[in-house]
Structure 1
Amino acid sequence: MVCENQKPNPTQQEAIQEEIRKTFGQNFLQQIIDNSYDSMFVTDKFGNVLLANEGTGKFMGLSIGELVGRNVKDFVKHGVYDWSPTIKAIETRSVVSGIVRNNRGNQQMVTSKPLLDEVNDILMVITNARDTDVVNQYFEALEKERTSVRLYKTAVKYLSDSDMENKEIVAESKQMRQVIKTSNFIAKTDSTVMLIGETGTGKEVMARHIHRNSLRSKEPFIPVNCAAIPHELLESEFFGYVRGAFTGANPQGKPGLFEIANKGTLFLDEIAELPLAMQSKLLRVLESGEAKRLGDTAAYQSNVRFIAATNRDLKAMISQKLFRSDLYYRMNVIPINLPPLKERPEDILALAYKFLDTLNKKYALKKTLSPKATRALYNYSWPGNVRELRNVIERLFITSAGEVLNFEDDFFMNSIARSETSAEKSPAPSARVYQGTLKKVLKSVEEEYVNQVLADCGGRVGEAAQRLGIHRSMLYRKKNNK
């Protein structure tokens, strides 16, 4: 017995051939042809059939005995089929392929290949064929695979274009802990969510949190900024288009966002910026779960979980005829309000230290915030919310030369310090001189120590409260009533 990967020597080859002849006789070539899945026959250089299998006879409506010995021109002449690739292959001395139709209307994809001798004379022509239904099924499966590949490639592009940093939500404040609790509960459902909050409050971070904790977590999360897509491209972006749908289109066509996010989550940020015409089309997809590519006649199913976000008053926009009321009520199934940073000051230092920790890891440094810096960050109103805080920390991290960020040379932080009533420069801690009543001095010392512990704990209120030996609610009061 010859091993699978072992090449037989000439003696072994002769033994194998002899074994085949003993098993099948001298007609072993006929056995090979008969057991071919495809229709197959062989002719000489004049087109006379030398060998044929049952598949060929079935397609032509003739027995093998009626095929062998006859010329293929006779089959065409008597209408057995409409034309002969074998004849074309003999005439052109080249491989010929095409669709052949028999007298019953059945079709096969046929290929005829001439075999040439050493002086380029035709010895024989080998013809094989396969039903077009099988061929079409193959091409449909191939196109389906290609479509899947295009979807994955497009999804990867969207994901790579977005901020893929693993953003964990900071929730030291009571308000944010309640938001997280609600989000974790509704994440397990497929209900549509509307995130409402000022610019920079972390709506996309919350949307990602809901997706990560949902039953769709292993499927795509596709974020879309509705305000960033030109109005004339909205329909092609959302629905996709087929090849040749319009001038300038991708010649391969393009999947739409509803296809890319299929089985996953589609996050529609700035949904208030969608024009009314697109709002109507979005409503149709929400209600039917069907979408249709531009230029296509067939609709496809889109199993998508929608999360929308806005910083605008949609009810006011409805009264101004700028937003459809039916879309609003369809999207506003579970509204979640994200409080601005000024309403949850307990999260300020925790966020600041989270951003600082990320930058330290990125640049292999160990920078930290000084007590003065923590006071300044805590006292600022942050109109730009979390986004502004992150940008400030990054800028100060990059521009500060030392490991302790005092922000002495930063205009932004100095402007905050000047707005504080107690912004006078203090001596070094070792040389600090206290004045006033004992109550006032104790309050100052307590404030400095609380800030120091918070800084040591990276802004984590729960951990700081434990180290201070007080309840976190008391720590909140001390920070809010200083």
Structure 2
Amino acid sequence: MAGVELGTREWHEILDAAHNGILAVNRESRVIVFNRAAAELVGCVQTEAFGRRLEEIIPNTRLAEVMESGKPEYGQPLPLRERVIVTNRSPIWRAHKIIGAVAVFQDITDIEALSQELETVRRAHADLDAVIESVDDGIVVANAHGYIVRANQAYLRIAGIARDEFVGKHFSELFKQGYLNRSVSQMVLERRARVNVVDVRNGKELLMTGTPVFDEKGELSRVVTAVRDISELSELKARLAESEEKSERYYNELEHLRSRQSFRQILTKNQEMLAKVEMAFHVAKVDSTVLILGESGVGKELVAGLIHRAGSRSKNPFITINCGAIPLNLLESELFGYEKGAFTGAQKEGKPGLFELAQGGTLFLDEVGELPLELQVKVLRALQDREITRLGGSKPIRLDVRFVAATNRDLEEMVREKTFREDLFYRLNVVPILIPPLRRRKEDIPLLVNEFLRRFNTRYGLQKWITPEVMGVFMLYDWPGNIRELENTVERLMVTGREDAIGRESMEDVFSPGGLKMAEAGGLSSFQKVGHGELPEFPGQSGGTFSLPQYLKEEERRLISEAYAVAGSTRKAAALLKISQSSLVKKMQKYRVRV
């Protein structure tokens, strides 16, 4: 049989009939084959492509590279007119010489979309499987014909059966085999409505809720049954009922007291204060009574909280009693509690006092110097004998409590004036810890200011900072109200100022009329009285001499570094700092702030 040779026309017809695009070039990268499918993919008139250089039609086919390397490339993605294209590229050989290259294009856009849809469905099924298997309740799914199509591991565990004994079986078969007493799924199929049933299986009391699932035509297609083991609920409810009234009352009162505590970190670089903190950690390991002394606002309650958290009682209550904040006529009943009918208006079931609520934990007697003399003897007995008696009661209550007290008053002077019992003072003063005032801890001011800025920026959704000028004034001010005054001042400046940068002009109404001038002009000399004529060390001090310019430079560098870290670019950081970008770049180079 003689061979049949095809002419050029026949070859073009064959190529145009191909579904995939086909393109070939000669050694000069000029198009010699360009079928109809390729023209449609490229968006080019077929007759205009022949003879043109390949890069004029498709710039990224890599056919030139294939001719140079002589190596074919298969399954390569080719971005083309927002379509998903896969191409195979091969060199054309003649007598061991490459004379061109050919590429076959396959449009898989629809296939890719379908693949993504299938992947989405697969992931949804996987997520559904994970959810069903993660719950503690048993889940059973039956189809409209009464066959079990799914049961999660929790149900198999509750029912005490294997999966192959249950899944795939019909209701009637399971009933005959004794796996079911009554079928919730069958009841739902019959009623076409939700059904709740309590049943006993495998020695367990089960609550079963069957829910019908309808398809888009309104036909019932599935029944989903949730199974919960409630066999222990009756016993638990009985136990709960026995103590519910008492537990709820104690819990609410204790939570109220706990909610008033705010344990915060003690921020300090001052050596004297660090020694006090170390002492607090040391005595926290024992139950000795601690008396914390210091001016108002120095953070005595933070030291008390530290002692509680660092001790063995940290998981038990920390109860604070402000001895100067409770009215005198209520103080005794609040401290020691009362029995029912102890006085007019008392709760009929009585009430535990704060001493009782602190059982197992720590009792913090804040402002203990405000205790009236008539109550000091009862507090002394609690400290000495570790027991109290409720108002109207006669039965002593043993205490397992660690005592910590605090005051800003001179208790020794009060003892001499007969306004504070001497025996109570000695009972409290087992381990005294004197907290230094802020004017002797000046190096802690930047730490505290930065913490207050972070806290209030987070609370109020702000992005404010203190300028070096204001920080310099803070370092010179006397702070008679100590840390509490500093915190209140920072908050006031942040919430009243209109600009993100808190500058000198924001401080006019913050201090007393002469306070600001004193801080800026004469504050330094007033501090020399502290510490026998020597200033405490703090940032900006060099060789024992305070250097405001040096401190301002360090503060400026810190603000620039923080602004760049927050903003991520010099342009945005400059906008935050209200300076030009060129100025910021120069300052960053000056201070060697890393970009």
User: Same fold by TM (over 0.5)?
Assistant: yes
Give TM-score, length-normalised by structure 1: 0.60
Q: Is the partner of 1:223 in helix, strand or coil?
A: strand
Could you say what secondary structure the match of 1:309 adopts?
A: strand
Is 2:300 aligned against 1:196?
Answer: no
Q: Identify which of 305, 310, 315 aligns with 2:412.
A: 315
- Given that residues 242 and 296 in structure 1 are in contact (C-alpha distance below 8 angstroms), is that contact kept between their aligned partners in structure 2? yes
Correspondence 1:381 to 2:478: yes
User: For residue 556 of structure 2, what is the aligned residue in structure 1?
Assistant: 452
Identity across matched positions, percent = 42
Secondary structure of the corresponding residue to residue 224 of structure 1:
strand
Offset at 1:212? 1.2
- Which of 500, 505, 509 is residue 411 of structure 1 equivalent to? 509
- Bigger drift between 297-306 and 344-353 goes to 297-306
Whole-angstrom distance in 1 between the partners of 2:493 and 2:467: 12
Deviation at 1:363, TM superposition (A): 2.0
Aligned equivalent of 2:253:
154
Task: Tell me how far 1:450 sits from its aligned partner.
Answer: 2.8
Q: How does 1:343-422 map to 2 (within 5 A)?
A: 343-409=440-506, 410-412=508-510, 416-419=515-518, 420-421=520-521
Residues 26-84 of structure 1 show CA distances to partners (whole Å, capped at 9, x for unaligned) of xxxxxxxxxxxxxxxxxxxxxxxxxxxxxxxxxxxxxxxxxxxxxxxxxxxxxxxxxxx
Change in Cα spacing, 1:185 to 1:457, as seen in structure 2 (3 Å) is farther
Query: CA, structure 1 residues 181+142, in 2 after alignment: closer, same or farther (shift >3 Å)?
Result: same
Structure 2 CA distance, aligned partners of 1:222 and 1:444?
44
Q: Which amino acid aligns with 2:439?
A: K
Q: Are 1:220 and 2:317 counterparts?
A: yes
C-alpha contact 1:400 1:407 (8 A) present in aligned 2? no
Q: Which residue of 2 aligns with 1:471?
A: none
Which structure has greater strand proportion?
2
The runs of 5 or more residues in structure 2 that have no matched partner are: 1-177, 187-237, 524-546, 563-595
Shift of 1:349: 1.5
Q: Is the 8 A contact 2:258 2:319 kept in 1?
A: yes
1:227-265, CA deviations, whole angstroms, 9 ceiling, x for partnerless residues? Answer: 111222121111111221110112231111111111011
SS at match of 1:412: coil
In structure 1, the gaps of 5 or more residues are: 10-138, 424-442, 459-482
The answer to whether the 8 A contact 2:472-2:551 is kept is no
Shift, 1:415, TM fit: 5.0
Distance 2:366 2:376 in 1: 14
Q: Pairwise mapping of residues 421-432 of structure 1 onto structure 2 (< 5 A)?
A: 421=521
Aligned to 2:385: 288
- For 1:305, the equivalent position in structure 2 comes to 402
| Separation in structure 1 between the aligned mates of residue 181 and residue 334 of structure 2, nearest angstrom | 52
What secondary structure, in the 3-state scheme, does the structure 2 residue paired with 1:219 have? Answer: coil
Report the residue type matching 1:393 in the other structure: V
Q: For residue 404 of structure 2, give the secondary structure of its aligned residue in structure 1.
A: strand
Q: Contact 1:226/1:268 (CA < 8 Å) preserved in 2?
A: yes
CA contact (8 A) 1:374 1:455 kept: no
Alignment of 1:187-266 (within 5 A): 187-266=284-363
Structure-1 residue corresponding to 2:281: 184
- Residues 68-108 of structure 1 deviation map (CA, whole Å, 9 limit, x = unaligned): xxxxxxxxxxxxxxxxxxxxxxxxxxxxxxxxxxxxxxxxx
Shift of 1:412: 2.7
TM-score, length of structure 2 as denominator length: 0.49
- AA partner of residue 272 (structure 2): Q
Residue 170 of structure 1, CA deviation = 0.9
Structure 1 residues 4 and 172, CA, compared in 2 at 3 Å: closer, same or farther?
farther
- Partners of 2:283 and 2:289 in 1: CA distance: 9
Structure 2: how far apart are the matches of 1:352 and 1:316?
35
Q: Map 1:32-181 to 2 at 5 A.
A: 146-160=245-259, 162-164=260-262, 166-181=263-278
Is contact 2:469–2:552 with CA below 8 Å preserved after alignment?
Answer: no
Deviations 1:180-221 (A, max 9, x none): 111111111111110000011111111111111111111111
Q: Which has the higher contact order (CA 8 A, sep 6+)?
A: 1
Q: Match for 1:267 among 360, 364, 369?
A: 364
* Residues in 1 aligned to 2:181 and 2:315: alpha-carbon distance in whole angstroms: 41
Contact 2:472 2:548 in 1 (8 A): no
**Shift in CA distance, 421/245, structure 1 to aligned 2, threshold 3 Å:** closer
Q: How many residues align?
A: 311
Task: Report SS of the residue matched to 1:238.
Answer: helix
Distance 2:550 2:328 in 1: 57
Report the equivalent of 2:105: none
How far is the alpha carbon of 1:334 from its aligned partner? 0.6
Q: Give the AA of the match of 1:421.
A: A
Matched, 1:330 2:427: yes
**What amino acid is the match of 2:510?**
F
* 1:4-34 deviation per Cα after TM superposition (whole angstroms, max 9, x unaligned): 8868x9xxxxxxxxxxxxxxxxxxxxxxxxx
Shift of the alpha carbon at 1:447? 3.9
CA distance in 2, matches of 1:200, 1:250: 36
Which residue of 1 is the match for residue 34 of structure 2? none
- In the alignment, the residues of structure 1 paired with residue 284 and residue 428 of structure 2 have an alpha-carbon distance, to the nearest angstrom, of 15
Q: Is the alpha carbon distance of 1:204 and 1:237 closer, same or farther for their aligned partners in structure 2, counting shifts above 3 Å?
A: same
Give distance in 2, aligned partners of 1:395 and 1:343.
24
CA, structure 1 residues 371+140, in 2 after alignment: closer, same or farther (shift >3 Å)?
Answer: closer
- What is the CA-CA distance between 1:145 and the residue it aligns to? 5.7
Equivalents in 2 of 1:307, 1:5: separation in Å? Answer: 64
**What amino acid is the match of 1:356?**
L
Structure 2 residue aligned with 1:70: none
> Using the alignment, how far apart are the partners of 2:349 and 2:434 within structure 1?
42
Q: 1:253 to 1:402 in 2, by over 3 A?
A: same
Measured on the aligned residues, the alpha-carbon RMSD in Å equals 3.0
Instruction: Provide the rounded CA distance (Å) in 2 between the counterparts of 1:406 and 1:376.
Output: 10
Deviations 1:440-478 (A, max 9, x none): xxx6753431333465799xxxxxxxxxxxxxxxxxxxx
